Structure 1
Amino acid sequence: MNELSVLTMGEAMAMFIADDPGSLDDCMRYKRYVAGAETNVAIGLSRLGIKTAWMSKVGDDSFGRMILKTLTSEGVDVSHVLTDPHHPTGFQLKSKVEKGDPVVEYYRRNSSASKISLEDFPLEQLPKIQHLHLTGIPPAISASFRELSWQVLNDLKQKGVTVSFDPNLRPTLWPSEREMIEVVNRFAKKADWLLPGMKEGEILTGYSRKEDIASYYLDQGVKLVVIKLGEEGAYLATEKERTDIAGFAVTEVKDTVGAGDGFAVGVISALLEGRSYEEAVVRGNAIGAKAVMSSGDHEGLPDRAELEHYMKKGVLQS
């Protein structure tokens, strides 16, 4: 695909992952990576040959330059990224764990991305694309980024662009849970393809059954709801079909962060290629499994050959 297919937008940060398990208090050595849900998706899609642009703002600093170099090297279009000379690029520290989820500490207050506004990216200058991927993180970062995200979503939907949305709830970024639920649901109900985790679905809808969570959004006009169930796989729901899709067995969990972004890469890429909903979710499960078996947020995302090999050799959960 030579022309731009997908646009995504969000905040990227420098990420430092501890070399050794244990408390961040005691860690002396870290490895540096790029972190960001939307950049993970952009990189994953690019590795599969889908031309993707990431829209954002970074600081005029070494972290910002590192992010741009990384994305450029991955083939992601960064022509819609601005450099802010007044506000820094955010960063985070992440613990190394042998079981469970890592501890992550964020340093992003007053970051360059939090200062993004509609004035930075006039709607008439948006690129021509087939698909828009959003998460619930930009609306949480700042009121101005929320407004831009909402305007971009509505503008592109009116132009017939399909939209995927991953709630990616970050409660610590919101003034209250009530506001988080209200705003994220406003975006979720506009999506064509909605990709919540099970816990996120429970928080956002108040329902505890996956069937009821899916129905809540289908009744609002969402065409496809896929609820991520971790190692169990995912639950696919449309007006016409509902089914559980088994996950792929994971030999060793190295880092759970980024699994949901890998899942989104699988679903989006397959649907843009015209594959069925079920095929798309199977691919999402495969890439999500690949992601957790590697350190870093996007390091485990496969290229086309690696994906095909894994899907042939991978073992489904029994």
Structure 2
Amino acid sequence: MRPSAVQLDVATYGESLALLVADQVGAFEDVEKYTRRLAGAETNVAIGLARLGLKVGWLSRVGDDSFGRFICKRVAQEGVDVSRVVTDAQYRTAIQLKARAVDGADPAIEYYRKGSAASHLSPADFDPDYFGAARHLHATGIAPALSASTMALAHHALDFMRARGKSISFDPNLRPMLWPSQQVMAQQLNALAAKADWVLPGLSEGKILTGYTEPADIAAFYLDRGVSLVVVKLGEQGAYYRSAQGEGVVPGVPVRQVVDTVGAGDGFAVGLISGLLEGLPIEQAVRRGNRIGAFAIQVVGDMEGLPTRSELEAASRAD
């Protein structure tokens, strides 16, 4: 039997991958040694929120293999509840390769995820008592891209939480290689975004999804569809936010050296979501998002740089 539902601040769902990061610069075929880590936008956010003291739960499927056991163990060690992660005896855990980044550039990535255990997630895996016990749902555009059943799960989860008055954040996290076309990607993800309260596209993502080039127009596109807050991430320039209460630009946080850009957007989501759930004004929550995004890009790994509450407070006091 499953454990009874626990009270959660945030629930999320999606695929986590075993991440193999190159230990040296060069093409994958020339690299001899890799370090095993963890990848997955939803688990990055879940771990970041847990490090700040929030109670977080994660739904997924992993293979009955060493990588699946590694993922569950690693996520649980971070304080995230994994009681709704299903071990799938038929399908394997996904794997990702990441090259060593140079001079702050985005690293090359290769995925081995087609037909993975998580791609077989479906509404049947959704536990209404578990999700109903959460204050907030965080969703991304990655999970629904994996298969028809994960798309059905995405709509089911957002509809369920919306009907119960829970807040919902949606980060598009575009992965064009998972979609049949850019047009289909935009249509499907915009339909999901319209069911959320807070939508968090990067500027380039917003251009693709809406056809607009200015942050204000991208935000208006989603506000016109019922979203209450849109935050457009602007990279080192910070972030633009807009809601019915107002708009503004919050400058980025300078860093000494960009080591690994992967996970910056997830770090931003951690800051924004935690801030808003704690009742911070929008501008302050966006500022926290910028700060945690800056933490994330200064170390190797997708989530290793995400701060604890004490580290975040120390950095804020240093301003």
Q: TM-score, with normalisation over the residues of structure 2?
A: 0.96
Deviations, residues 172-209 of structure 1 (Å, cap 9, x unaligned): 00011111000000011111111000000000100011
> Aligned equivalents of 2:245 and 2:91: distance in 1?
48
Describe the superposition over 1:25-59 as per-residue Cα deviations: whole angstroms up to 9, x where unpaired: 21001110010000000000000000000101000
Q: Secondary structure at the match of 1:119?
A: helix
CA distance in 2, matches of 1:161, 1:240: 20
List gaps (5 residues or longer) in structure 1: none
Instruction: Select the residue among 8, 18, 23 that pairs with 1:4.
Output: 8
Query: What are the superposed Cα offsets for residues 241-300 of structure 1, whole Å, 9 maximum, x if unpaired?
Result: 111100100111111000000000000001110111001000000000000001100000
Counterpart residue number, 2:93: 89
Structural mapping, 1:33-112, within 5 Å: 33-99=37-103, 100-112=105-117
Superposition deviation, residue 119 in structure 1: 2.0
8 Å contact from structure 1 (residues 114, 141) kept in 2:
yes
State the 1:21 CA deviation: 1.2
Please give the alpha-carbon distance, in whole angstroms, between the structure 2 residues aligned to 1:200 and 1:308: 31
Alpha-carbon distance between aligned partners in 2 of 1:120 and 1:52, rounded to the nearest angstrom: 17
- The answer to whether the 8 A contact 1:263-1:284 is kept is yes
> 16-25 or 117-126, which moves further after superposition?
117-126
The answer as to 2:237 corresponding to 1:224 is no
Kindly provide the amino acid, as one letter, of the partner of residue 224 in structure 2. D
Q: Which residue is equivalent to 1:312?
A: 317
Detail structure 1 runs of 4+ shifted over 3 Å in the superposition: 122-127
User: Measured at CA, do residues 125 and 44 of structure 1 come closer, stay the same or move farther in structure 2, by a change above 3 Å?
Assistant: closer
Counterpart CA distance in 2 for 1:271 and 1:111 is 34
Identity of aligned residues (%): 53
Report the CA distance between 1:126 and its aligned residue: 3.5
| RMSD (CA atoms) | 1.1
Could you tell me which residue of structure 2 aligns to residue 204 of structure 1? 209
Cα offset, 1:124, TM superposition: 5.5
- In structure 2, the gaps of 5 or more residues are 1-5
Q: Secondary structure at the match of 1:251?
A: coil
Count of aligned positions: 313
- 1:51, 1:267 → 2: CA distance? 16
TM-score, normalized by length of structure 1? 0.96
What is the match of residue 298 of structure 1? 303
What SS does the aligned partner of 1:64 have?
helix
CA contact (8 A) 1:22 1:97 kept: no
